Structure 1
Amino acid sequence: MMKQVKVIFSVLLILISFSGFSQHLADTAGKEQKTVYLFSGIGADSSIFKNLKLPGYHKVYITWIPALPDETLTDYAGRIKSQITVENPYLIGLSFGGIMAVEVSKQIHVKKMVLISSVRTKDELNKRQFFFIKLGLYRIIPSALIKRTNFLTYRYFGAHSKSDKKALTKLLKDTDVTFFRWALKSIGYWHNKEVPERTIQIHGTADRVIASRFVHPDYRIKGGGHLMVFNRADTISKIIRNYFRD
């Protein structure tokens, strides 16, 4: 009799244990991850972000859509924001993607935003670059030259290691030249002077694409170039995690 009681008692303990365990799994599954939307550089894909480590966050990569010929950045942001489907999202914008994230943040409520190798306002861009763009000189750059890498582009983008050069080569090779030209033209006529709220800016001291001397970031990465999201990802990931956690 005692043996039967012990068996029944053991079975009950196992059932209770499984019940609690199942409930724990259900609770864990029910907890939604915070969603962060990532805007890459001009025409680039999500591969540039592959080294970022953001555990606990559901990453959604914004896909560039074809731009209309005379579309402004504001109008384009109004269309691309349809890819953001959660309320109070976190945004991360890289280079041109940072400019677009700023425009999107003016149209929806954003929890927090991070700009990497990018700018908050027009005043942080090099005035010589504006002059170059407004003259329309970008139109005469051959498509093959835009999509090709050499020692000058490696230096300009801060690609020093073999993996950096491989990543940059892929990014430029896959660049949509039509979108690239539209983006440059649109930046030339970008007039934003409104500093976005709930935003931090991370910039490299060796950035040549968006010169470090013109920006006033919250975090400066010593020696970081325009590709630092790829080759300084550990440092940048830590900054982002700490900022999102606060």
Structure 2
Amino acid sequence: MKKVYIFSGLGADERVFKYLDLTGLEVTFVKWIKPQVNEILADYAKRLSAQIKDENPILIGLSFGGIVATEMSKIIPTEKLILLSSLKTRNEIPLLYRIAGKLNLHKIIPYSLLKSNTFFNRWLFGIIRKNDKDLFQKVLADTDIDFLRWAINVIVKWDNQLLHPQLYHIHGSKDKILPIRNAGNVIVIENGGHLMVLDKAKQVSEALHKII
């Protein structure tokens, strides 16, 4: 049975994967740990790697989790690296985000607004179904603002250019946070938003099983 480690999105946990079909896989959900002050992503990934107990596992990362999984794959031997609604290299970071990182504009964001269950946030993440709205609200409420602030700083300043030899990228055609036009070579989930793992779980599951 394949050993699979899954990294959730920014501030989220395994609840966002509740609809995925992961049968036939031995799955471990990696738990976020508190970042240290001014900790760089490579060091954070190294500390997080203590949770990887198997040799040559498959790593799956959603959004920010894909960035962390990419850094993890540089530290430990990894059979496959699968990204969901994420980024492969710095070149795929939207230009606006890169400019914000260069000018440190992201540091003046009112982070409490990012934790609000507003219509705009639901639209941005592609949340439509009632059940998903409820889950989205709970995940936002549980998101730690300090972790959010640290992670956004890491994302806009990420400088990766390396591609794992067994890298697979699954991306929604309607992703508003990380538009597919920046994603390069990907497996496309039609009409999938940033949280396509919820409302497009069947299509994402099928893509995952084909890869694995």
TM range (shorter): over 0.9
Distance 1:166 1:130 in 2: 32
State yes or no: 1:47 paired with 2:19.
no
Letter in 2 for 1:125: I
Q: Report the aligned-residue RMSD.
A: 1.3
| Rg larger for | 1
The structure 2 residue matched to 1:184, chosen from 118, 129, 152, is 152
Is the Cα–Cα contact under 8 Å of residues 53 and 234 in structure 1 kept in the other structure?
Answer: yes
1:143, distance to aligned residue in structure 2 (A): 4.0
Report Cα offsets for 1:204-238 as digits up to 9, x if no partner. 11101111110124311111000101111111111
Distance 1:179 1:142 in 2: 14
Report Cα offsets for 1:2-29 as digits up to 9, x if no partner. xxxxxxxxxxxxxxxxxxxxxxxxxxxx
Report Cα offsets for 1:72-98 as digits up to 9, x if no partner. 111111110110010010111000000
Letter in 2 for 1:242: K
Report how many aligned residue pairs link the two structures: 212
Determine helix, strand or coil for the equivalent of 1:38. Answer: strand
Higher mean displacement: 67-76 or 114-123:
67-76
Superposed structure 1 runs of 4+ greater than 6 Å apart: none
The percent of aligned pairs where both chains have the same amino acid is 41
Distance 1:217 1:233, change over 3 A: farther
The structure 2 residue matched to 1:96, chosen from 44, 54, 64, is 64
Distance 2:111 2:79 in 1: 39
What TM-score do you get using the length of structure 2 for normalisation?
Answer: 0.95
Is the Cα–Cα contact under 8 Å of residues 133 and 184 in structure 1 kept in the other structure?
Answer: no
The structure 1 residue matched to 2:35, chosen from 53, 63, 67, is 67
The structure 2 residue matched to 1:206, chosen from 154, 171, 174, is 174
Superposition map of 1:77-92 within 5 A: 77-92=45-60
Which residue in 1 is equivalent to 2:85?
A: 117
1:140, distance to aligned residue in structure 2 (A): 3.0
Alignment gaps of 5+ in structure 2:
none
Is the Cα–Cα contact under 8 Å of residues 93 and 156 in structure 2 kept in the other structure?
Answer: no
Report Cα offsets for 1:11-56 as digits up to 9, x if no partner. xxxxxxxxxxxxxxxxxxxxxx321100001111110011111211
State yes or no: 1:216 paired with 2:201.
no
Alignment gaps of 5+ in structure 1:
1-32
Higher helix content, 1 or 2 = 1
Letter in 1 for 2:152: L
The structure 1 residue matched to 2:123, chosen from 143, 150, 155, is 155
Is the Cα–Cα contact under 8 Å of residues 86 and 171 in structure 2 kept in the other structure?
Answer: yes
Higher mean displacement: 103-112 or 127-136:
127-136
Is the Cα–Cα contact under 8 Å of residues 91 and 101 in structure 1 kept in the other structure?
Answer: yes
Determine helix, strand or coil for the equivalent of 2:19. Answer: coil
1:138, distance to aligned residue in structure 2 (A): 3.0
Letter in 2 for 1:165: K
The structure 2 residue matched to 1:128, chosen from 96, 102, 116, is 96
